[in-house]
Amino acid sequence: MTTTTTATAPGRPLTPSRTTATAARVLRQLHHDPRTIALLLLVPVLMITLLRYVFDGAPGTFDSIGASLLGIFPLITMFLVTSIATLRERTSGTLERLLALPLGKGDLIAGYALAFGAVAVVQSVLATAVSVWLLDLDVTGSPWLLLLVALLDALLGTALGLFVSAFAASEFQAVQFMPAVIFPQLLLCGLFVPRDRMHPVLEAISNVLPMSYAVDGMDQVVRHSDLTGAFLRDIAVVAGSALLVLCLGAVTLRRRTP
């Protein structure tokens, strides 16, 4: 009987009760891990605060890059925590026991996304509030739009972390995926050099990387008081990328680490 249930679990449709139960279990685990909570909620705020005073002698510099970093830091922290947490579930055998129950891979991935998405909301609210109201980040558009992009970036980091955890055999390997997945996007997203000034090959690559659109979306909020078509395109790309990667994560999710 167990074999039959296990074989059919991946094909089960999403069930709200199972998804929310999975999310509640993940949140309970996070509640008992203060170091992870600090990494998720405090590190982005501390990094943005540090950069504010690093550029204290260069007026306008923080305003020009602060919004972009507001989206990048949550993406990086959510990627790290999610990839390691999911891998830990698999190496400990928890994932295998869960999937032996009437719980599909989609329920599991959606539950993780829901749990870390709830954390991402708190993370994004804290980082945005500190940046705008305490660090005086100058934003032409609505701070709520900054919050929206920061939240989507954090969800994208969650999705990427869930996806790459399927290909790691240890927590160290999960961290090693960061140079391969995050650093190229960081270098090509337009934070250091405008993308239209890059070599045509690098510009073409940047055009398919979701972090590029996250940075562009933040830039639209900084420069424009109203919603623009470019902003709507940018957030659609980031949200669509997160959804696509979550689907890929459900397909590639493994029960155990060889």
How would you write 3-59 as a 3-class SS string? Answer: HHHHHHHHHCCCCHHHHHHHHHHHHHHHHCCHHHHHHHHCHHHHHHHHHHHHCCCCC
pLDDT score of 94 more than 90: no
Closest CA to 115 of 27, 40, 50, 39: 27
- pLDDT for the residue 102: 59
* pLDDT reported for residue 9: 43
CB neighbours of 223 closer than 8 A, spacing ≥ 6?
140, 141
3-state secondary structure of 170: coil
What is the chain's Cα-based Rg? 19
* Highest averaged pLDDT of the listed ranges 95-104, 105-114, 179-188: 179-188
Q: How many Å apart are CA 99 and CA 87, to the nearest integer?
A: 15
The rounded percent of the chain whose pLDDT value lies above 90 is 26
pLDDT of residue 55: 85
Residues 132, 199: Cα–Cα separation, whole Å: 34
Q: What is the mean pLDDT of residues 246-251?
A: 82
Mean pLDDT for the stretch of residues 179-203: 91
pTM comes to: 0.83
Distances (CA, A) of 174 to 27, 187, 222: 21, 20, 34
Within 13 A of 126's CA, how many CA atoms are on the CB side? 22
Q: Which residue has the higher pLDDT, 223 or 240?
A: 240
DSSP 224: -
Ramachandran assignment for 60, one of left (phi > 0), alpha (psi -120 to 50 degrees), beta (any other)? left
31-61: pLDDT as tens digits: 888 888 888 888 889 989 998 898 888 777 8
- Burial class, 146, CB count within 10 angstroms (exposed 0-12 / middle 13-18 / buried 19+): buried
Residue 142: helix, strand or coil by DSSP?
coil
Say whether pLDDT at 235 is over 90: yes
φ, ψ of residue 239 in degrees (nearest 5): -65, -40
Q: In this model, does residue 67 exceed pLDDT 80?
A: yes
pLDDT digits (tens, 9 = 90+) for 219-232: 999 888 888 999 99
